[in-house]
Structure 1
Amino acid sequence: MDLSACVDRLRSGAAHEFPADASSVAFARHMDSQDKLRHLRDEFVLPSKASLKKRALDGTMPEQAAVVNGVNGDKAEPTSDGDDASSQQSLYFVGNSLGAQPKAVREYINAHLETWASIGVNGHFTDMANSPLTQWQDLAEDCAKRSADIVGSAPHEIVIMNTLTVNLHLMMASFYRPTAERHKIILEWKPFPSDHYAVESQVLWHGLDPRKSMVKIEPDGGGALITTDKILRTIDEHADETALLLLPGIQYYSGQLFDMPRITAHAKARGIVVGWDLAHAAGNVELRLHDWDVDFACWCTYKYINAGPGAIAGAFVHEKHGRVEWAAGADRPTYRPRLMGWYGGDKSVRFDMDNRFVPTPGAAGYQASNPSAVDLASLSGALSVFGKTSMRDLRSKALVLTAYAEHLLNQMLAETAGDGQPPLFTIITPADPLQRGTQLSVLLRAGLLDRVARALEDNGVLCDKRKPDVIRVAPVPLYTRFEDVWRFMQVLRGALGL
């Protein structure tokens, strides 16, 4: 089977048929041998089965422990049944909650710590030779440049700051400007709770009633998916009263990828400001925020971007909202209103300590505070891995990885069809490869979750659970192999009694 041909079919939206031997480890290894991104796995530290049991620090990292125990990861020769040294590695299918650790992060943080220890405050303005980092005051701008391909924008439309929910509040402070006529915010019925809290609190902050000003789009038919047509109909129904549309690029529970360009264009044609929460989309799917004319977007960097737990986040502001314009003879510029802070001030006058605010042109003018250099160092290290590939190539691999996982899941269902029992599980993520990222949400038959979760844990598998009955399986293309997908499915088969 040719991997590139599979990519082409899936990119066109066509279904792909896997061959009869796709359920074998030999097939998975054949696919891995064609993967031009397979070297990127070496950029990460993945937990081992042994390290998952750690309850005290001992100064070793998982790969060090593997060598000490006489196991050298993928270097060992595999046997025909797949029982090789790589089986001592964990299976990391939880990058949709927390990405694996890039090796570069340790290098970049160490560089920051050496700079701080060696020159102290001068690290703000000094570029150190032999360092992967720029001076501290330029770190956020450097990370913005490295993020441009990830979100599809110009670097000046990106600002790296704060965390996701804080950035949503900052963006809504500028872009949610309700009036008596237009005060509604359209969102989904079950967003990630923090998004709901942020929207509700913004509505309340303006003295409005959430019951009247929050429009929640529900799926048709009681399922988990919201069709594009349902979203467009909701926009049309409330257009004259709506100030803001705020949706996730990918719905965290179902894994559904929304049609962002079509939805954005439809809402903006009706005079609605459009924002996107890209927590599960950034680093996962290809984005074109500038070309789609999105007004603003926010994302975290600890999932698919792998910058570490609670890592510093990113925001996009379309360049038309970042303009700083001076009228002839004016002593102050005009710019879009926002909550101001000194690090949003233009760098050329930032340290003048003048009370006249002159924002940095572009998204950087929406900053409030001096960002944490150690957080930026961690993100910079993570982004260095993305600099070795492209979002197009990552998306191409992810399409096939996810389709392969879906194929093996469907094979399990086919084996148990007609046994008179309810299906062991249902895949609630869209079957259309263009309507999902690299996550498959699997709704288990009631009562199976605890048993499955225990089997995954016992076999060194990290996989996200969402009670009452869903596991979210995320084969991340940066570090997941086709063989990992095959191994995961063998564990799941055992847990389900197959």
Structure 2
Amino acid sequence: MTDITLEKALQLDSKYPTYKDKFEIPTFKSLGIKNDEKESIYLCGNSLGLMPKSTRKALNDELDAWGARAVESHFNHPGEATEGKTSWVDIDLPLLPLIAPVVGAKENEVAVLGSLTNNLNALLIHFYKPEGKRTKILFEKQAFPSDYYAFLNIVKLFGYDESHLIQLSVAPGETYLNTEDILKAVDDNVDEIALVCFPGIQYYTGQLFKIKEITHYIKSKSSQIRVGWDLAHAVGNVPLSLHDWDVDFAAWCSYKYLNSGPGAIAGIFVNEKFTINNSKQNFSPRLAGWWGNNSADRFKMLEEFDPINSALSYRQSNPSVIDIVSVKASLEIFKQVGGVETLREKSIQLTQLLQDILTSSKYYLPQSETDSSKFGFKILTPLNPEERGAQLSLLFQPHYDDKSKNVMERVNQYLHDQAIICDERRPDVIRFAPIPLYNTFKETFDATNKLIEALDIIAKDL
């Protein structure tokens, strides 16, 4: 056990509300662990958020509309007059006032469409404008592979090779990127950089990048560099102010902290300065389709591109109705509970409780520890709660190639047997993500102590 008491966890639960009653919580039985309806402790919202209970009805309503009116629901939804439903032709528009405050944008700067990497590629085609010696993209060495593939292929599409990618690595002895190293890389390559794109939160370590500081610094050095952000792990997790920070573009998924379902439809931010003057005669070429065209003329089937004066102009096709209402169901919960800013205060306290228990354990190893043969774990995530989201990433050691002996594998299996669901990243990392919407301090306390209990058992075998 630890010096952090259950009483403290319960006191925090009395101070900060939980909204888990709005979500479907997996049980021992539903997970196939044992025939027990006791709820699991789900600490994996950074990978896939839980399903809001309201989602089921939202989906069924659209299936009923499809069954009742089929194609006519595009313009005459059966629930429009009685339940405030939206006809399918405009199904995504009610999401704009819901998603805009989540990312700190104006409504004309956001759109719900596509998937994360599809959207990132579409934005790269639009914003990557190599010219002269300004051809390079600056990003992190440990970026999620999809981002690397996108950056590599965009430079190749323009006739360049991998040497036009500038990848920043974590410094020796560190576990995450220092902002100073990013700013130095900008200085060192300022005349050659065409575009910069970092994650809002690093998927592996949980580090929250200083989006405002980095964006402003780059803009102060050159107005020719476009600055974008991959917000897959940041949206719905931490407060964002993309418009005020003068971000050029951003893309995100919605199946993690936005709880919109596996593979759910994603979203984009495009600063209004790039769209506000759109017209038939004046627009910057992009991957385009009829759903980005002026809605008044959309069904005239004209061979004339008249892009909407907003981020909606980047839509290519009509969105999946089922996907859209899934996102809407979750965004409505964010609105009901006071938004990301309100949830952030609880989130910081949750990860701090988790950190306090872990760092008081005899198995805790400081980030500076270099002996990989020592038994225990490191916290890869910044220990300053302002520099992380709702996640702590733990690196377990020593490593064994035999999964039945490997520390991380054994800890993860022990937790799963207790219906504590986390996210493993082989070979040796488990990501713990207490989510303020549906996790409690008692759950976090219990799960962390089960982790220590697992290590106690493993230590006896050494």
| Partner residue in 2 for 1:85 | none
Q: TM-score, normalised by structure 2?
A: 0.91
The one-letter amino acid of 1:89's match is E
| Partner residue in 2 for 1:24 | 5
What pairs up with 1:451-466 in 2 under 5 angstroms? 451-466=410-425
Report the Cα distance in structure 2 between the residues aligned to 1:180 and 1:423, rounded to whole angstroms: 53
Does the 8 A contact of 1:104 with 1:384 survive in 2? no
Identical amino acids, percent of aligned pairs: 39
Match of 1:189 among 111, 136, 141: 141
| Partner residue in 2 for 1:408 | 357
Does the 8 A contact of 1:22 with 1:28 survive in 2? no
Label 1:415 to 1:433 Cα distance change in 2 as closer, same or farther (>3 A). closer
Q: TM-score, normalised by structure 1?
A: 0.85
The one-letter amino acid of 1:488's match is A
SS of structure 1 residue aligned to 2:196: strand
Does the 8 A contact of 1:413 with 1:423 survive in 2? no
**Match status 1:337 vs 2:285:** yes
Shift of 1:105: 0.8
The one-letter amino acid of 1:185's match is I
Report the Cα distance in structure 2 between the residues aligned to 1:244 and 1:416, rounded to whole angstroms: 38
| Partner residue in 1 for 2:198 | 247
Does the 8 A contact of 2:33 with 2:417 survive in 1? no
CA-to-aligned-CA distance 1:114-153 (integer Å, 9 cap, x gap): 1111121121123523436422122222112210111000
Runs (4 or more) in structure 1 with deviation over 6 Å come to 414-417
Does the 8 A contact of 1:295 with 1:317 survive in 2? yes
The one-letter amino acid of 1:25's match is L
Does the 8 A contact of 2:3 with 2:360 survive in 1? no
| Partner residue in 2 for 1:98 | 48
What pairs up with 1:32-431 in 2 under 5 angstroms? 32-35=13-16, 37-38=17-18, 40-53=19-32, 66=37, 88-127=38-77, 128-131=80-83, 133-210=85-162, 212-269=163-220, 270-271=222-223, 272-325=225-278, 332-389=280-337, 390-413=339-362, 422=374, 424-431=376-383
CA-to-aligned-CA distance 1:377-421 (integer Å, 9 cap, x gap): 11111111111121111111100001000011112137899xx98
Label 1:108 to 1:206 Cα distance change in 2 as closer, same or farther (>3 A). same
Does the 8 A contact of 1:464 with 1:471 survive in 2? yes
What is the aligned length? 440
SS of structure 1 residue aligned to 2:361: helix
Report the Cα distance in structure 2 between the residues aligned to 1:245 and 1:34, rounded to whole angstroms: 41
Report the Cα distance in structure 2 between the residues aligned to 1:240 and 1:365, rounded to whole angstroms: 31
SS of structure 2 residue aligned to 1:178: coil
Shift of 1:457: 1.2
Shift of 1:183: 0.5
Report the Cα distance in structure 2 between the residues aligned to 1:43 and 1:325, rounded to whole angstroms: 41
Label 1:319 to 1:235 Cα distance change in 2 as closer, same or farther (>3 A). same
| Partner residue in 1 for 2:434 | 475
Does the 8 A contact of 1:107 with 1:381 survive in 2? no
Report the Cα distance in structure 2 between the residues aligned to 1:350 and 1:467, rounded to whole angstroms: 48
Report the Cα distance in structure 2 between the residues aligned to 1:149 and 1:333, rounded to whole angstroms: 32
Report the Cα distance in structure 2 between the residues aligned to 1:415 and 1:464, rounded to whole angstroms: 19
Does the 8 A contact of 1:108 with 1:133 survive in 2? no
Label 1:233 to 1:176 Cα distance change in 2 as closer, same or farther (>3 A). same
The one-letter amino acid of 2:345's match is S
SS of structure 2 residue aligned to 1:159: strand
CA-to-aligned-CA distance 1:131-184 (integer Å, 9 cap, x gap): 364221222221122101110001110011000000001101100011232100
CA-to-aligned-CA distance 1:306-329 (integer Å, 9 cap, x gap): 000000000000000112345xxx
Unpaired segments of 5 or more residues in structure 1? 1-19, 56-61, 67-87, 327-331
Does the 8 A contact of 2:2 with 2:361 survive in 1? no
| Partner residue in 1 for 2:408 | 449
Shift of 1:30: 2.0
Shift of 1:456: 1.1
Report the Cα distance in structure 2 between the residues aligned to 1:109 and 1:180, rounded to whole angstroms: 51
Shift of 1:335: 1.7
